[in-house]
């Protein structure tokens, strides 16, 4: 080859003379009206730096902040818009000498400014990290197969049991996301979720599904995941209510489950959220002056609230921490223990008694640790002792409804704790990893194995119990026997006098779906 025809180092290939052999190696295809050539011998594949690639953050152009037609520079990991001349990506490619780019929407790799598509098997791992995909068999065996993975920097991690980045006090969101990974039916639904093609995809559900797929990605370049896209979608959907500040994970969970139910509701009005979490509670109301006059009602519930006894005013020593068994708190639902409260309007008092009527596959117990007084928020540090396996709720079911609930034993699968002061503390979660049968504690990015005995020594706030008939693939028994209707006759006059308001139902642990 003459000296004038020799390629100059660092020069874009579009400016170099090319021989006939290179031209014959191109395979042209038609894309719309423009022909985009394909090549398998791109000389710039060695410049790709996988250590700087991060697909967790919002894929917006660094110049225009637009999400349309965005490409990622596979050399420095930055996002720019466009591929043709006079675009931000084209200018960045010429200025920096970075010629390998990937479309963030379809995963196709192009050489800019030469304009051809790169077809190479070595890029499959990058495409999989951009959009992880699991088939039905992988999703079905997600809770039985033990998988260990290693990041590019040598960090060991377990797919599905991975740390989440804390973005401006988002630990309350992180623990709820980690909790959903333990709820097998919901997790499998999100891992296999595909947005509908006939309408615009929902940003919250699609970003949540993408986040869970990245958490279960066995070929992740990093040993952690950042929930940035989901965090932004939640902030936009709630008007910045759950954004850039510490919030209650119970409030966030209630909003998220209501949102998923609304968006995934079937024609019959049901959804997987209600199939998994929704139970039924019977409430008996009576005036404090005449407890013989009883009004019964039944309400749907997504969680059970448990009230701690008041912290002792006088302690033997400063290190004293009160303890109470979980069974003492569950006596609230035995149908006999009375709870006195001022009725709506503040003119009279009423007595309430609760019973369980239907048990869902997953029972969520919320320990009411925080209480607002006239000046500040108080936290009750009482430790709740609870069993990790074999929690039997049969004694708290109404006698008429026990035949319709043949399985009443539950195992603990997740335990959300609060550490620190009420307003400045942090949330962490302890989860039971089914494939390894081991407990792990996840506190933002830190993932550590813990002994089962240590799980019961924390200040539990939210507990998730899984019914023992739930299988590893997420299927559970649906009992066909109908729950009998309440047989107690209700005095209409009393019912009108003592009417339960939605905010009163929240005190009973009832969240209206």
pLDDT in tens, 229-238: 999 999 999 8
User: Do 463 and 495 fall into the same domain?
Assistant: yes
User: Do 496 and 380 fall into the same domain?
Assistant: yes
User: Do 41 and 80 fall into the same domain?
Assistant: yes
Residues 6+ apart with CB under 8 A from 391: 326, 409, 410, 411, 412, 465
**CATH number assigned to the domain comprising residue 166:** 3.90.70.10
Least-confidence region, from 364-373, 430-439, 482-491: 482-491
Other Cβ atoms less than 10 A from the Cβ of 332: the count is: 20
User: Do 91 and 105 fall into the same domain?
Assistant: yes
d(CA 389, CA 408): 12
Is 415 domain-assigned? yes
User: Cα-Cα-Cα-Cα dihedral of 55, 67, 258, 403, to 10°?
Assistant: -50
Is 106 domain-assigned? yes
**CATH number assigned to the domain comprising residue 60:** 3.30.40.10
User: Do 43 and 8 fall into the same domain?
Assistant: yes
Is 377 domain-assigned? yes
User: Do 298 and 324 fall into the same domain?
Assistant: yes
Other Cβ atoms less than 10 A from the Cβ of 80: the count is: 25
Cβ atoms 402, 394 nearer than 8 A? yes
Is 471 domain-assigned? yes
* Per-residue model confidence as pLDDT tens digits over 263-295: 888 888 888 999 999 998 988 888 877 777 778
pTM of the model: 0.83
- The domain boundary, picked from 97, 130, 163, lies at 130
Q: How many residues does the chain have?
A: 513
CA 30 remoteness from chain centre: 41
User: Do 142 and 123 fall into the same domain?
Assistant: no
Is 259 domain-assigned? no
pLDDT at 24 (0 to 100): 43
Cis peptide bond prior to 113, omega within 30° of 0: yes
Is 395 domain-assigned? yes
Q: What value, to the nearest 5°, has the Cα angle with vertex 106 and ends 43 and 142?
A: 105
Average pLDDT, the chain: 83
d(CA 49, CA 265): 43
Q: State the average pLDDT over residues 104-120.
A: 90
Is 102 domain-assigned? yes
Is 512 domain-assigned? no
d(CA 403, CA 258): 30
User: Do 163 and 120 fall into the same domain?
Assistant: no
- The domain boundary, picked from 250, 273, 300, lies at 250
Q: Judge whether residue 22 has pLDDT over 50.
A: no
- The domain boundary, picked from 99, 130, 161, lies at 130
Residues 6+ apart with CB under 8 A from 152: 50, 51, 221, 222
Domain count, the chain: 3
Domain limits at 82?
A: 3-130
pLDDT at 424 (0 to 100): 81
User: Do 410 and 352 fall into the same domain?
Assistant: yes
pLDDT at 346 (0 to 100): 59
**What residue ranges in 216-318 does DSSP mark as E strands?**
224-225, 279-287, 295-301, 304-307
Fill in the DSSP letter of residue 310: P
User: Do 96 and 158 fall into the same domain?
Assistant: no
Q: State the average pLDDT over residues 359-383.
A: 88
d(CA 192, CA 180): 14
User: Do 385 and 282 fall into the same domain?
Assistant: yes
User: Do 465 and 369 fall into the same domain?
Assistant: yes
């Amino acid at each position: 080859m003459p000296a004038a025809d020799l390629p100059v180092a660092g020069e874009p290939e579009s400016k170099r003379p090319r021989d006939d052999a290179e031209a014959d190696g191109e395979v042209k295809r038609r894309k719309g009206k423009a022909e985009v050539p394909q090549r398998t011998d791109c000389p710039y594949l060695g410049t790709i730096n996988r250590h700087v690639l991060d697909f967790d953050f919002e894929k917006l152009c660094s110049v225009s902040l637009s999400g349309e037609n965005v490409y990622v520079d596979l050399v420095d990991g930055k996002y720019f818009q466009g591929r043709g001349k006079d675009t931000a990506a084209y200018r960045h490619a010429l200025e920096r000498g970075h010629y390998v780019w990937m479309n963030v929407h379809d995963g196709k790799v192009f050489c800019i400014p030469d304009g051809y598509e790169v077809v190479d098997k070595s890029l499959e791992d990058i495409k999989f990290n951009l959009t992880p995909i699991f088939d039905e068999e992988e999703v079905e065996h997600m809770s039985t197969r033990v998988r260990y993975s290693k990041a590019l920097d040598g960090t060991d991690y377990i797919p599905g049991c991975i740390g989440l980045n804390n973005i401006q006090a988002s630990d309350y969101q992180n623990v709820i996301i980690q909790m959903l990974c333990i709820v097998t039916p919901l997790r499998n639904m999100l891992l296999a979720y595909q947005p509908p093609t006939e309408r615009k995809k929902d940003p919250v559900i699609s970003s949540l599904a993408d986040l869970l797929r990245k958490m279960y990605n066995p070929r992740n370049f990093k040993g952690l995941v950042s929930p940035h896209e989901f965090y932004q979608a939640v902030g936009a959907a709630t008007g910045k209510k759950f954004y850039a500040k510490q919030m209650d994970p119970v409030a966030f969970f209630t909003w998220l489950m209501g949102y998923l139910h609304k968006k995934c509701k079937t024609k019959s009005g049901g959804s997987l959220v209600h199939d998994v979490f929704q139970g039924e509670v019977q409430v008996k109301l009576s005036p404090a002056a005449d407890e013989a006059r009883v009004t019964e009602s039944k309400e749907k519930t997504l969680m059970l609230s448990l009230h701690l006894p008041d912290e002792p005013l006088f302690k033997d020593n400063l290190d004293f921490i009160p303890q109470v068994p979980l069974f003492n708190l569950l006596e609230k639902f035995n149908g006999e223990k009375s709870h006195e409260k001022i009725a709506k309007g503040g003119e009279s008092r009423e007595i309430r008694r609760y019973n369980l009527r239907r048990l869902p596959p997953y029972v969520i117990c919320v320990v009411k640790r925080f209480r607002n007084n006239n000046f500040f928020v108080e936290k009750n540090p009482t430790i709740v002792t609870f069993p990790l396996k074999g929690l039997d709720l049969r004694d708290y079911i109404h006698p008429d409804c026990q035949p319709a609930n043949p399985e009443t034993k539950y195992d603990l699968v997740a335990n959300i704790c609060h550490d620190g002061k009420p307003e400045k503390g942090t949330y962490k979660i302890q989860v039971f990893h089914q494939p390894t049968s081991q407990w792990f504690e996840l506190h933002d990015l830190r993932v550590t194995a813990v002994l089962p005995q240590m799980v019961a020594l924390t200040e539990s706030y939210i507990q998730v119990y899984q019914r023992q008939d739930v299988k590893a693939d997420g299927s559970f028994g649906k009992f066909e026997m109908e729950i009998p209707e309440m047989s107690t006759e209700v005095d209409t006059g009393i019912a009108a006098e003592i009417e339960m308001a939605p905010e009163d139902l929240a005190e009973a642990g009832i969240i209206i779906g």
